[in-house]
Structure 1
Amino acid sequence: MTLDAGTQMRKGVVEYCVLGLLSRTPMYGWELSERLISAGMIASIGTLYPLLSRLRQSGWVRTFDQASTAGPVRRYYELTAEGRAQLNGFRALWEPFARGVADLIDQEES
C-alpha cells in the first residue's frame, strides 16, 4: 500500500481528539502535545500549534493566560460552546462509523 493509512486516519480525527481532551479540562499546549504524542495522534508539538490556531479561528476553542509556579505565564486552551457542539456531533457519528469499519475489515471467515 503506498498510502500511509495511519497518517490519513489521524488527520481526520486529531482535531476532535483535542476537543475531547479540552472537554475534560482546559490545558496548555505542552500538556496537550504530551497527551497526543503518547496516544500516537501527532508526531511533535510543532504540528499542534497550527491545529490549535485553526480551532481558535473556527471558534471551537478560546485561550486564556495563567501564571505558572514553574516558569512563565502559560496559555491555556478551553472548549467553547460551539466546540462542545462540534464534539458532540462527532461523537454521534464516530461510534456507528467505527463499528461499520470494524464490521467490514474484520477477519475473513474460515
Structure 2
Amino acid sequence: MNTQFKKGVLELCVLALLSRKEYYGYEIVSLISETIEISEGTMYPLLKRLKDDGLVSTRLVESSQGPSRKYYSLTASGQEYTKIKIDEWFDFTDHVDELLKGDTL
C-alpha cells in the first residue's frame, strides 16, 4: 500500500480501534497489521502524540508473562474527536468514490 495513504489513515485506524475498547500497544500493531503493513516503530510515536494531545490515556497493567503492559483508551475528548474524524472520513471517501467511478461526470 502507498506510504502516503497509510500516513493519512493510520491515526484514524488507531482511534477507531480504541473507540471499541482499550488495547495495549502491541495489540494495536497486530490488529492493524492484519490489513495494513506497519511497524512498531511507526505506532509508538503516534500513540505518544495522541496521548500528548489528550486524545488517549494510558494505564500500566502487570503481566504474568513479562513486563507490564501499557493500555491505551480514548479520553472523552478523544471519543468526540474520533466521531468527528470518522464522519469526515466517510464524507471524504464518498466523494472520492464518486470521482473514481465517474458518477459526477
TM value normalised by structure 2? 0.89
SS of equivalent to 1:67:
strand
Aligned to 2:77: 82
Count of residue pairs the alignment pairs up: 103
TM-score (norm: length of structure 1) = 0.85
Whole-Å separation in 1 of the counterparts to 2:88 and 2:9: 12
Structure 1 stretches of 5 or more lacking a match? none
Q: Are residues 1:10 and 2:16 paired?
A: no
| Per-residue deviation, 1:91 | 1.6
Query: Aligned partners of 1:19, 1:43: CA distance in 2, in Å?
Result: 16
Aligned counterpart for 2:90 among listed residues 70, 80, 95: 95
After superposition, the CA RMSD in angstroms is 1.7
2:18 matched to which residue of 1?
Answer: 22
Distance 1:25 1:69 in 2: 21
Q: Does 1:72 align with 2:67?
A: yes
Shift of 1:90: 0.8
Q: What does 1:33-44 align with in structure 2 at a 5 Å threshold?
A: 33-40=29-36, 42-44=37-39
In the alignment, the residues of structure 2 paired with residue 16 and residue 82 of structure 1 have an alpha-carbon distance, to the nearest angstrom, of 15
- The one-letter amino acid paired with 1:52 is L
Structure 1 residues 18-74: Cα deviation after superposition (integer angstroms, max 9, x where no partner):
01101111111110100111121x521111010011001100001100122322211
| Unaligned segments of structure 2, at least 5 residues | none
Aligned-residue offset at 1:93? 1.1
Runs of 4+ deviating beyond 6 Å: none
Q: Percent identity?
A: 41
